[in-house]
């Protein structure tokens, strides 16, 4: 992980190395890398026996636990469920560890280590992020309260940091990496609210010269690019689309898909499109901010979002262009001048571009499932990539009813026991009379 990230325990930086699936699963050598192999006994002790009180989140992959090592480092341990299809589970584990080991950027969650013990124990170890995920602050247990921690300065910082992380994945990593699951629960927040893009379980390495691939759809409806959700065509432009949805979510505090009183479902772009068309940018801003935002930054975020969510993937900017827009380094298109000054809901600005929402197929929107990963195909990924995707495999990840525990990011949005009250396995206990027990 890069120097810009921090661990709640104040641990030293870990520089990830490189791994291949065979070297990871063999666990015989890490090629001189600085991350390490943990034993099951070490992680069992650090997490208090994987106790419920130390659980940070859970989902289809398994569970994530808070832990503390003997030298005082706070960690998060992603413990994968044993899978009936052992070979597929082994490969998914190996791919995630390999991708984590390849990335080095201040806004990407790096690899601290892993455990591959016996037939059933597959665990990945990260630095613990004390502010959990962006989802926790937008829609989860930290969303309420008069003093909302996610102010405008932090939101804009999250947008820019996450964009820079995607630039590294798409354009600086070799080979390039498509994340495939950019969403609020996969953007973690450190003690300073700096963002770290996480969870590379669905990531794809892109060989040189390859512009796109066709694969089985995995991800979260609401963030999925239409060409990917319906036909399985995946490219870097899919991450760009997801990031555009994330930008509107950051600005508005709304969920990617919402249920209307009538029972119908509406995407966040369908809600935002008419407001942007009328230049009513201030009406898109989360009411929890109480009008405290920067209008120029708002205009740039919405300009970038409108470009990112265009229906045709070839019309979307790459992430380098998105970063330039967010920084104000490019001129607004169509001759529209960005607004300036502090936010005021009474001050409106004509957007540089119009957002045109793209609707998912009706059968996808009608799905009530909150499962976010398509299952049921037992072929290995390299065989899956050769066939056309059946769009019926896509299932909806639902945040309709504020079921914030139904979150499958690295750190869940389930109710969390504050770290300071969690049982520390390396602290001696005291009885009521002050005697050590």
The domains of the chain, with CATH numbers, are: 21-130 (3.30.200.20), 134-393 (1.10.510.10)
User: Per-residue pLDDT for 355 more than 50?
Assistant: yes
Q: What confidence score (pLDDT) does residue 302 get?
A: 96
Binding site listing: 78
Environment class of 157 (CB within 10 Å of its CB; exposed 0-12, middle 13-18, buried 19+): middle
Q: What confidence score (pLDDT) does residue 263 get?
A: 84
Average pLDDT of span 305-328: 96
Binding site listing for ATP: 78
User: Per-residue pLDDT for 421 more than 80?
Assistant: no
Q: 369-406 in b/e burial notation, b at 16+ Cβ within 10 A?
A: ebebbbeebeeeeeebbeeebebeebbbbbbeeeebeb
Print the SS3 string covering the chain: CCCCCCCCCCCCCCCCCCCCHHHHHHCCCCCCCCCEECCHHHHHHHCCCCCHHHEEEEECCEEEEEEECCCCCEEEEEEECCCCCHHHHHHHHHHHHHHHHHCCCCCECCCCEEEEECCCEEEEEEECCCCCEHHHHHCCCCCCCCCCCCCHHHHHHHHHHHHHHHHHHHHHCCCEEECCCCCHHHEEECCCCCEEECCCCCCEEECCCCCCEECCCECCCCCCCHHHHHHCEECHHHHHHHHHHHHHHHHHCCCCEEECCCCCEEEHHHHHHHHHHCCCHHHHCCHHHCCCCEHHHHHHHHHHHHHHCCCCHHHCCCHHHHHHHHHCCCCCHHHCCCCCCECCCCCCCCCCCCCCCCCCCHHHHCCCCCCCECCCCCCCHHHHCCCCCCHHHCCCCCCCCCCCCCCCCCCCCCCCCCHHHCCCCCCCCECCCCCEC
- Token pair for 198: 């996480």
Q: What is the pLDDT of residues 68-117, one digit of tens each?
A: 999 999 999 999 887 655 666 677 777 778 888 778 899 999 889 999 88
Q: What confidence score (pLDDT) does residue 84 get?
A: 52
Band (395; pLDDT cuts 50, 70, 90): very low
Q: What is the pLDDT of residues 115-146, one digit of tens each?
A: 988 778 899 999 899 999 999 999 988 888 65
Q: What is the pLDDT of residues 276-302, one digit of tens each?
A: 999 999 999 999 999 999 999 999 999
- Rounded to two decimals, the pTM is 0.76
Average pLDDT of span 55-63: 79
Calpha distance 30→4 (Å, rounded): 25
Query: Looking at 71, 120, 181, 344, which residue is catalytic?
Result: 181
Average pLDDT of span 307-334: 89
Q: What is the pLDDT of residues 163-207, one digit of tens each?
A: 999 999 999 998 899 999 999 999 999 999 999 999 887 888 887
Annotated catalytic residue 181: yes
């Amino acid at each position: 992980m890069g120097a810009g990230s921090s661990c709640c325990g104040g641990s030293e930086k870990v520089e990830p190395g490189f791994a291949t699936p065979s070297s990871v699963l063999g666990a015989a050598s890490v090629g001189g890398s600085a991350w390490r192999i943990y034993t099951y006994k070490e992680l069992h002790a650090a997490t208090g026996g994987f106790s419920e009180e130390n659980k940070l989140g859970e989902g289809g992959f398994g569970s994530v636990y808070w832990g503390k090592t003997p030298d005082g480092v706070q960690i998060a341990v992603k413990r994968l469920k044993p899978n009936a299809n052992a070979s597929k589970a082994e490969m998914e584990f190996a791919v995630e560890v390999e991708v984590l080991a390849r990335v080095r950027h201040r806004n990407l969650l790096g690899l601290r280590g892993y455990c591959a013990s016996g037939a059933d124990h597959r665990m990945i170890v990260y630095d613990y992020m004390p502010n959990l995920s962006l989802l926790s602050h937008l829609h989860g247990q930290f969303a309420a309260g008069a003093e909302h921690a996610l102010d405008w300065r932090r939101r804009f910082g999250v947008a820019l940091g996450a964009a820079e992380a995607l630039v590294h994945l798409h354009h600086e990593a070799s080979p390039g990496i498509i994340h495939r699951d950019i969403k609020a629960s996969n953007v973690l927040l450190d003690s300073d609210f700096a963002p770290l893009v996480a969870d590379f379980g669905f990531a794809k390495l892109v060989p040189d010269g390859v512009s796109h691939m066709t694969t089985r759809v995995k991800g979260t409806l609401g963030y999925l690019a239409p060409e990917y959700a319906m036909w399985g065509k995946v490219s870097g432009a899919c991450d760009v689309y997801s990031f555009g949805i994330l930008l509107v979510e950051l600005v508005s505090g709304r969920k990617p898909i919402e249920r209307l009183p009538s029972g119908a479902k509406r995407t966040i772009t369908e809600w935002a499109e008419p407001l942007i068309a009328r230049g009513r940018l201030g009406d898109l801003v989360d009411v929890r901010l109480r009008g405290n935002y920067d209008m120029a930054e708002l205009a740039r975020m919405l300009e970038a979002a409108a470009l990112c969510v265009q229906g045709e993937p070839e019309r979307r900017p790459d992430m380098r262009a998105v970063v330039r827009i967010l920084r104000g380094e490019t001129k607004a298109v169509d001759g529209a001048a960005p607004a300036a000054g502090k936010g005021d809901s009474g001050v409106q600005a004509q957007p540089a571009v119009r957002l045109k929402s793209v609707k998912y197929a009706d059968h996808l929107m009608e799905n009530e499932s909150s499962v976010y990963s398509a299952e049921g195909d037992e072929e290995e990924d390299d065989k899956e990539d050769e066939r056309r995707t059946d769009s019926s495999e896509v299932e909806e990840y639902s945040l309709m009813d504020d079921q914030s525990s139904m979150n499958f990011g690295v750190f869940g949005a389930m109710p969390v026991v504050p770290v300071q009250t969690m049982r520390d396995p390396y602290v001696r206990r005291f009885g009521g009379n002050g005697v050590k027990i």
